[in-house]
Amino acid sequence: MHIIINVLTVNALTILKKHYGGAVLVKDFDKERAHETFRKMIQTDRLHRCVMEKFLSSFGIHRSQHMTLMFLSHHGECTSQKQIAEHFKISSASVAVTLKKLEDGGYIERESAEDDSRYNSIKITKKGKEIIDKSEEIFSNADYEMFKDFSDEDYVIFSSCLDRMAKGLTEYAESFSDSSDGKQ
């Protein structure tokens, strides 16, 4: 099977070279292994998300609300709605909805700034701090369970692999915006 895939890959590269004037768009690599590895990464991410959402549901908050609460905790309570939107790359309107739900749930309080009524100061309440503290404990336990069998060398290798994957994907994504001929 592996030989057939390599033959198909070589044939595909030959076609690509002819079509794109000798430029090779992809390297010869084990597509099945790459696909299986990526599938495992997605599966692990989903499992982590399910564990966290199960925890969050016990408090009656959604993931986006939790992420906002954690952002406020780590970036200070004077953070503006605009800063939150920029950080998460979402609209200010989406942030407003999330903040309203957090406020209605008693996790934050908003007060108009004395010098500028257009600006709201966002403060985490005692109830919000309790979720943050419990979250940090749950996340720490989840991280421990995920990585407890990793050696120091495993950490270094895994982190390096993720960095290289992110770099490669970033470069690939940038190639779309850099290409004016639309061939990629």
Asked whether residue 64 falls in the same domain as residue 133, the answer is: yes
Q: What pLDDT, on the 0 to 100 scale, is given for residue 175? A: 87
Measured CA to CA, the distance from residue 50 to residue 53 in angstroms comes to 5
Domain that holds residue 81: 59-147
In a domain, 38, yes or no: no
Please name which of 123, 126, 133 lies closest in space to residue 55, comparing C-alpha atoms.
133
State what percent of residues in the chain have pLDDT above 90: 45
Asked whether residue 91 falls in the same domain as residue 125, the answer is: yes
- Residues in Cβ contact with 179 at an 8 Å cutoff, skipping those fewer than 6 apart: none
In a domain, 52, yes or no: no
Q: How confident is the model at residue 8 (pLDDT cuts 50, 70, 90)?
A: very low
Asked whether residue 140 falls in the same domain as residue 170, the answer is: no
Number of domains in the chain: 2
Asked whether residue 83 falls in the same domain as residue 130, the answer is: yes
Q: Which of 40-67 are b and which e, b meaning 16 or more Cβ less than 10 Å from the residue's Cβ?
A: eeeeeeeeeeebbeebbeebebeebbbe
Asked whether residue 139 falls in the same domain as residue 167, the answer is: no
Q: What secondary structure does DSSP assign to 122-151, as a single string? A: EEE-HHHHHHHHHHHHHHHHHHHHHHTT--
Q: In this structure, are residues 52 and 63 in contact, taking their beta carbons and an 8 Å threshold?
A: yes
What is the dihedral sign for C-alpha 103, 106, 107, 111?
Answer: positive
Read off the CATH number of the domain in which 103 is found. 1.10.10.10
Q: What is the pLDDT of residues 97-130, one digit of tens each?
A: 999 999 999 999 988 767 766 667 788 999 999 9
Please name which of 64, 41, 48, 61 lies closest in space to residue 142, comparing C-alpha atoms.
48
Asked whether residue 141 falls in the same domain as residue 166, the answer is: no
Asked whether residue 76 falls in the same domain as residue 88, the answer is: yes
Measured CA to CA, the distance from residue 179 to residue 184 in angstroms comes to 7
Asked whether residue 171 falls in the same domain as residue 111, the answer is: no
Q: What is the pLDDT of residues 135-149, one digit of tens each?
A: 999 989 999 999 999
Asked whether residue 128 falls in the same domain as residue 155, the answer is: no
pLDDT at 7 over 50: no
